[in-house]
C-alpha cells in the first residue's frame, strides 16, 4: 500500500492531547511512509494547517479547550476540507452517529490497531478521490454525500454511480432519510412498508436491509450508508441528500 498521493507523501495531522499516544501514532504512521505531524489541540492544528495543508486529519474528540466535534465541523467548512478519521474512546452509537454527521469519514473507537488506522486513512483518500473524479470542472466536490431519489427509487453513491431500488428497499430509505442519523425502529420501518409489526416482520425488514447492502456493495463498490443500532433499529451513516428536499 503506497504512502503517496499525486506523487508526494500523504500528509496527515494527528490531533491527540495525550502526548505519549500522540507520539506513538505519529512515529508509527511516519514509519509507514506518511508525512505526519502531531497537534495537542485545535489551536495547534490550525497553526499546522496554516503552514501546510493535510490530506487527512486523525482527530480525537476529548480535547482540551475545544471538543473534536467542533473542530471537525470547522474543518468541513473549509473550501478544500481534509479527510477526517475520528479516533476516540467515545463508542456509544449516539456519539458515532454525531461523529459521522459532523464530518467523520471513518470513526474508530480506541484502542485502535494501527494497521486498521492506516487502512482507514487510505480508504478515506480513495473515497474522496472518487468524488473528485466525478465533480464537474470548476465545481468543488460535494464531500462524501450520497443521494436518494424517492420518486425514481434510485440511490447514488458519492462517486456518482447509482443503483435502482425495489419498492421495499425504497421504503426503508424513505424511513431512514426522514431524519438522517436518527435510529429508526424495525416496527416503524415495518409499518411504513404496510406490515404489522411483530417478530416476523422484524426478520423481513432485516432481510430487505441485507439485500440492499449486498446490492450496493455489488453494483456500486461502496458500503451502503446504513448502520444498525442494537435494540434501536437502523440509521443513516454519513451524509445523504434527498432529491425532494
Each residue's pLDDT tens digit in the chain (245 positions)? 455 555 678 999 999 999 999 999 999 999 999 999 999 999 999 999 999 999 999 999 999 989 999 999 888 877 778 999 999 999 888 888 888 878 888 899 999 999 999 998 988 888 766 444 444 433 334 445 899 999 999 999 887 889 999 999 999 999 999 888 788 888 889 888 876 555 455 678 888 998 998 888 888 888 888 888 766 788 888 788 898 76
- What are the structural domain ranges in the chain? 4-134, 145-242
Q: How would you label 138-165 residue by residue, b for 16+ Cβ within 10 Å and e otherwise?
A: eeebeebebbbbbeebbbbbbbeebbeb
| C-beta of residue 185 within 8 angstroms of C-beta of residue 162 | no
Question: So what's the pLDDT on residue 4?
Answer: 57
Give the separation between CA 240 and CA 17, rounded to whole angstroms: 32
Same CATH topology for 4-134 and 145-242?
A: no
| C-beta of residue 220 within 8 angstroms of C-beta of residue 213 | no
Give the separation between CA 91 and CA 163, rounded to whole angstroms: 32
Q: Please, what's the largest Cα pairwise distance for the chain?
A: 59
| C-beta of residue 52 within 8 angstroms of C-beta of residue 11 | yes
| C-beta of residue 143 within 8 angstroms of C-beta of residue 76 | yes
Q: Which numeric CATH code is attached to 145-242?
A: 1.10.10.10
Question: So what's the pLDDT on residue 5?
Answer: 57
Q: Please give the full DSSP string across 229-244, using - where no structure is assigned.
A: ETTTEEEE-SEEEETT
Give the separation between CA 44 and CA 63, rounded to whole angstroms: 12
Q: Is 4-134 CATH 3.40.50.2300?
A: yes
Amino acid at each position: 500500500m503506497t504512502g503517496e498521493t499525486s506523487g508526494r507523501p500523504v500528509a496527515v495531522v494527528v490531533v491527540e492531547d495525550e502526548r505519549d499516544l500522540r507520539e506513538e501514532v505519529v512515529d508509527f504512521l511516519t514509519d509507514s511512509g506518511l508525512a505526519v505531524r502531531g497537534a495537542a489541540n485545535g489551536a495547534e492544528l490550525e497553526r499546522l494547517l496554516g503552514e501546510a495543508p493535510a490530506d487527512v486529519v486523525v482527530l480525537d474528540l476529548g480535547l482540551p479547550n475545544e471538543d473534536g466535534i467542533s473542530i471537525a465541523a470547522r474543518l468541513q467548512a473549509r473550501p478544500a476540507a481534509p479527510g477526517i478519521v475520528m479516533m476516540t474512546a467515545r463508542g456509544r452509537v449516539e456519539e458515532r452517529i454525531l461523529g459521522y454527521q459532523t464530518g467523520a469519514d471513518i470513526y474508530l473507537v480506541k484502542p485502535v490497531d494501527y494497521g486498521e488506522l492506516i487502512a482507514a486513512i487510505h480508504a478515506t483518500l480513495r473515497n474522496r478521490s472518487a468524488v473528485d473524479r466525478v465533480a464537474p470542472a470548476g465545481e468543488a466536490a460535494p464531500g462524501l454525500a450520497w443521494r436518494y431519489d424517492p420518486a425514481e427509487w434510485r440511490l447514488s453513491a458519492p462517486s456518482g454511480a447509482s443503483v435502482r431500488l425495489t419498492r421495499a428497499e425504497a421504503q426503508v430509505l424513505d424511513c431512514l432519510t426522514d431524519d438522517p442519523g436518527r435510529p429508526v425502529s424495525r416496527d416503524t420501518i415495518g409499518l411504513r412498508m404496510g406490515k404489522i409489526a411483530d417478530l416476523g416482520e422484524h426478520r423481513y425488514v432485516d432481510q430487505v436491509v441485507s439485500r440492499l447492502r449486498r446490492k450496493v456493495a455489488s453494483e456500486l463498490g461502496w458500503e451502503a450508508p446504513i448502520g444498525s443500532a442494537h435494540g434501536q433499529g437502523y440509521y443513516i451513516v454519513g451524509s445523504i441528500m434527498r432529491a425532494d428536499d
